[in-house]
Amino acid sequence: MIKVGYVSPVDPNTDRMTWSGTFYNTFHAIKNAGVEVKWIPCASPRLLYNGMTKGASLIYKMKYGKGSPSHSKLMSSTHNLFVNKKLMKKCDLLFIPGQAEVVAGLHCDIPIIYYSDATFKKMINYYWFNFSSKAIREGNRIEKLVIKNATYNFRSSHWAAQSTICDYGADKKNTYVFPFGADVPKKIKRAAIPNYKHNELKLLFSGKDWDRKGGDIAVNAAEYLNKIGIKTKLYIVGIKQLPQKVKDKNFIRLVGYIDKNSLEDYKRYLNLYYKCNALILPTRAECSALVFSEANAFGMPIFSTETGGVSDYVINRQNGYRLPLNATGIDFGKCIEKVYNQRQFEKLSDASRKIYEDSTSWEAWTIHFRKFIDVNYAK
């Protein structure tokens, strides 16, 4: 049986929080593919690790100004002091999720899978702003080294995979798309279909970053729908309080921040998917939002934007719609109005669930990984 070493700073067998649960879920998805997977710590002893990485970050800031410390030779050298090389040597294959600083400086004869949701170039002036020119040069140099060191480059979207190939010269045949799955129970109810009889609609907006996720646009869309006679409620989860300018909107239901580690909060979160009819997320920038996978799991139609890696999770006219980035709240409202008037929610819901089962679930990820192993490591 092939042995996969899972390199991470936390125990991926039990830690459900790091990288929104991606460490935990990919670890178990690999395990469920019928291979042996072992955790290889890269942050022990913890106190020394924290002290040295903090020091490296301070030195980086003095040398490069504003930038991404993880994309630097300095941080790469620091992190690789803590990788458990003895455990690593017992493995046939290494899986390293989202740790460019580890991959960049890791010298070994064992094939490496590097899993990420973006490239450094794609993040500049998209998620990351006002980086110094020196930091950008160093970041691109490290990203190229990361991709070269990785035997296989796994990405969570075609958007990220294309950049890996076109911007950094990755081998196309060794670059794979593995969409993120949803961390939801196996047995769940489907999202509710709108109450057409009473002309009602319940929309869900989920995001901690109000501006980047397009919160104002979602509010304007709901406001438009109410004005034309579709009685719409907008449930907002992720932020602790509403911006002052929308606090007086009586159609808004603020759910607030939800801690998924709390059983009570988690049940509240699941109930939102059960009672809402669609997800609206007019995001300004997005790599691979897990909320899309969650919406697909519940068979919930999605209304989002044409940006980043969204197209792997929201398929136009199948499980929802991707509107142009310059679409206004009224544009979103009119799109939802058309779907509502044509009674298309059930059709979109069925397709959403199908996309989840085929692509954006961790079960689908496991099947995809098993095929990868069979093709590349068949005895």
Q: Which domains does the chain have, with CATH numbers?
A: 3-181+361-377 (3.40.50.2000), 200-358 (3.40.50.2000)
pLDDT in tens, 312-350: 999 999 999 999 999 999 999 999 999 999 999 999 999
pLDDT at 83: 95
pLDDT in tens, 271-320: 999 999 999 999 999 999 999 999 999 999 999 999 999 999 999 999 99
Q: What are residue 63's phi and psi, to 5 degrees?
A: -85, -40
pLDDT at 59: 98
- CB neighbourhood size of 227 (10 A): 11
Sheet holding 175-177, edge to edge: 36-41, 3-8, 93-97, 112-116, 152-155, 175-177
The pTM of this model reads 0.95
Average pLDDT over residues 15-30: 91
pLDDT at 379: 60
What secondary structure letter does DSSP report for 119?
Answer: -
pLDDT in tens, 190-215: 999 999 999 999 999 999 999 999 99
pLDDT at 17: 80
Average pLDDT over residues 7-31: 93
pLDDT in tens, 130-167: 999 999 999 999 999 999 999 999 999 999 999 999 99
- Burial label for 343, CB within 10 Å (0-12, 13-18, 19+), is exposed
